[in-house]
Chain A
Amino acid sequence: MAIEVKQQQPDSVHLVIDGEVSIYNVSELKQALSNYLDTVKEMQIDLAGVAEIDGAGVQLLMFLKQEAAAKRVELSLARHSEAVVEVLELLNLSTHFGDPIVISADWKSL
């Protein structure tokens, strides 16, 4: 797992999450991501590198969305990986997050 800051501006941040988002690292992720939420007005998370996400991971994403809304931060998720899309579809959460999802032709059927 790693959070990489791709682009940082005074009001916005563009982050990239790699590896897995699961019960094993949600605590660290929450801590790190919450800190950003306190400082910026706009936040984009690139999920292309997320190879695995579980229930706790999804819950974390939901939490971030909730926090962002409360703090009036614009949060967007982008470049969802296959694993993320599969889970969001399974839980019918795509519309909840409302971010455009690009489905690659290479992915196995969802």
Chain B
Amino acid sequence: MNELDTALAIFAQEAEELLADMEDALLSLDQDPDNSETVNSLFRAMHTIKGSSGLFGFEPIVAFTHEAETLLDKVRQGERAIDSNLIAVLLESKDHVAKLIEHCLNANGPALPAELAATGLRLISQLNGGVQTAIQQGTGSADEKIFSEGGGEISVDEHWLISLEFKQDSFRDGIDPLSFLRYLKTLGDIKQILTAANGMPSGEAMDPESCYLHFKIAFQSEATKETIERVFEFAADDCEIKILPPNAKIGEYLALLDAQDETQVRRIGDMLVQVGALTEHDVEHALQAQTASVESQTVDGAKPKPLGEILVEQHVVQQPLIDQALKKQEQTKQKIASEANYIRVDATKLGHLINLVGELVISSAAMNLIVEKHGLSDASDIAAGMNALVNSIRDTALELRMVQIGDTFSRFRRVVHDVSKELNKDIQLLISGGETELDKTVVEKIQDPLTHLIRNALDHGIEHPEQRLAAGKPAQGTVQLNAYHESGHIVIQIADDGAGLNSEKILEKALANGLVKKDHGLSRREIYNLIFAAGLSTKDQATSLSGRGVGMDVVKKNIEALRGSVEIDSEEGQGTTISIRLPLTLAIIDGFMVGTASERYIIPLSMVDECIEMSANECEIDEIQHYINLRGRVLPYLRLGDYFGNTTANANQRESVVVVKFGQTEAGLVVDELHGEHQTVIKPLGKVFERLKGITGATVLGDGTVALILDVQGLIQAAIDHKPKALAHKPALRRV
């Protein structure tokens, strides 16, 4: 690859990411059209693409993005309002840009295909042609009038302005305003003070024990705002305290704001507190006011006032400071956006690193073994230290490949948006748990099955609005995507509030296809899971989206290839929930090593619930009925030795039970020895062993021998399915 190619590859990737961001932003604008940050990010995306396209001389892209950018700038300036039409046009424009980029990258000619050019022209006219709706700018220049009322003016240039409004109970709470003023005097000079009792009633109504006093003070001092506020600390509950810094200080604050570091975006309140223009108390107070105003205005659906506005209204800070802080905040955001702290690394390099770390884990285990074997006491400390390091290297290396699933999830917004339009359904997508992390390779492989399941939910699950209304449900259907961690696995749930599955219909089809026999004895859940079988669709009419009966079995196969599982649950008329359970990583796991006879096996530690000695009181085994009675809990079990055909020679061997758990199911594995925790580098087995039941992989132990990694899910199933053998000659209940 020459340099230009590399640059083009980077351009393509960057543009792809920007467009993906843009799509997210557009879809979120749908819900929150006034979010200026989102509009800014749209603008940035178009602007950046335009810039870098110009660099490569991709004129068509530059021309088109320029129009989009101009429009977005208008939106940003408030000259054009955003509505769903505009969002639709912008979405289309985004797709158009993607096509343009593809064209420019692949076809080495400047001429655009007629179709693309036509779309471009149409979009440009749509972008410009919308009705210009000027947004009225509120002229909210609140005059600094507080100190002009009653009594002389106070110069605000060099003095702190302190306003104290004592509450009526102050005297009764033992607070005497005079003592605070006397204390204040020790910090500086009270240049001017206005004492007022404006709200004091006359005659009988006046309670002399209630406090009606208000003070406005011009105060000269070198003290910080915080120090001054602390004077009134004891009165905080009984007094409205507002401290406005002197205008002369503004310069100082502005300089400090300017010097604030730009490595992270912070909240406006925090920024102002840091430079000393506000105190924590001010911010807290303003935030309370903000929440209160939101609560009182929920009916109108009004947006909360910006914090800065509230702070100025409360006279605790001047407008220029807020402006500057906002500007600074914006600058920081842009700076961060422009120099995103990521390094692009070739995925194969990362894969190589993970492999090496795997080898490192194995050889460090080997070293430990030698150190132990030869009793090298001086070496054992070092070995332990290295072991800890290897562990953290392993974790960090694996984390490198971890990505949040949120990006994958938000891609489905578009799918839902488009498909619901196509099907004439009103469907919203709710996403939660987007910050859940899992291995990148898993994320990539899960995308197709997820798409399929979501399309299914949209097509089969959610009914048409009329049907929904008739069923007493809101017209808008909901599809929910959720992800969370559960014992070393990630669980991804796709839930819809649609019609749910019809178990009879499924059964009927399954019988017709010969999947089950008449006397099936299947539970409801098992029937639902039949839809993962090949060739079964309950949809009478196949659509372009789904209904052909292929797909669900592919979904299941794909997920199982990732050592995962998929489960379906449904309530007829209420909706369907599909849960996908996937291992977090495909490379290295914490294992638990057990042994039968001379063989060693690894159970993924995350699936081990507990280990217990067979001889223990709370554990009884019933070999005829084939169950373990564990503290009154009935567990199916499996003798690993029997299962893998290497029975113990020594019958006196004391056996142990390892209780393993997978999702909702559990079982006991009976083993001879417990070896404890072991870091396990998963080595895939060759194709020859693909059909092997109960084994998912192998690992190399420190001493060079091989241990097999157990497929817990499969073994639990085997334990459940196990038919008791004819063991009539053995005692019915054996206490081992």
Contacts and interface: CB of A to CB of B under 8 A. Distances in A.
A59 B181 CA distance: 15
Given A23-B171, A56-B211, A62 B200 contact: yes
B208 A56 contact: yes
A54 B208 CA distance: 12
Nearest to A26: B208
Contacts of B116: none
Contacts of B170: 55
Nearest to A70: B202
A56 B200 contact: no
B152 to A, nearest CB: 10
A108 B171 CA distance: 28
A23 B282 CA distance: 30
Nearest to B174: A23
Interface in A17-73: 23, 26-27, 29-30, 34, 54-56, 58-60, 62-63, 66-67, 70
A81 to B, nearest CB: 15
A67 B209 contact: no
B545 to A, nearest CB: 77
Contact of B178 (A60, A62, A87): A87
A38 to B, nearest CB: 10
Interface in B78-128: none
A29 B178 contact: no
A31 B212 CA distance: 18
Interface stretch (A8-16, A88-96, A98-106): A88-96
Interface in B143-202: 170-172, 176-178, 181-182, 185, 190, 192-195, 197, 200, 202
Nearest to B203: A67
A26 B209 contact: yes
B213 interface: yes
A66 B198 CA distance: 11
Contacts of B194: 92
Nearest to B172: A23
A20 to B, nearest CB: 12
Nearest to A88: B195
Contact of A56 (B171, B195, B202, B203): B171
Interface string B199-235: 0101100101101110100000000000000000000
B200 A66 contact: yes
Contacts of B178: 54-55, 58, 87, 90-91
Contacts of B206: 30, 63
Interface string B492-503: 000000000000
A66 B208 CA distance: 13
A22 to B, nearest CB: 8
Contacts of B171: 23, 55-56
Contact of B208 (A29, A87, A92, A93): A29
Contacts of B197: 59, 62-63, 66
Contacts of A29: 208
Contacts of B177: 55
B570 to A, nearest CB: 71
A97 to B, nearest CB: 11
A27 B170 CA distance: 15
Interface of B: 170-172, 176-178, 181-182, 185, 190, 192-195, 197, 200, 202-203, 206, 208-209, 211-213, 215
Given A26-B208, A27-B209, 6 more contacts: A23-B172, A29-B208, A59-B208, A67-B202, A91-B195, A96-B195
10 contacts: A23-B176, A26-B208, A55-B171, A55-B177, A55-B178, A59-B200, A59-B212, A63-B197, A70-B202, A92-B195
Question: 8 nearest interchain CB pairs?
Answer: A26-B208, A91-B195, A30-B208, A92-B193, A55-B177, A55-B176, A23-B171, A56-B171
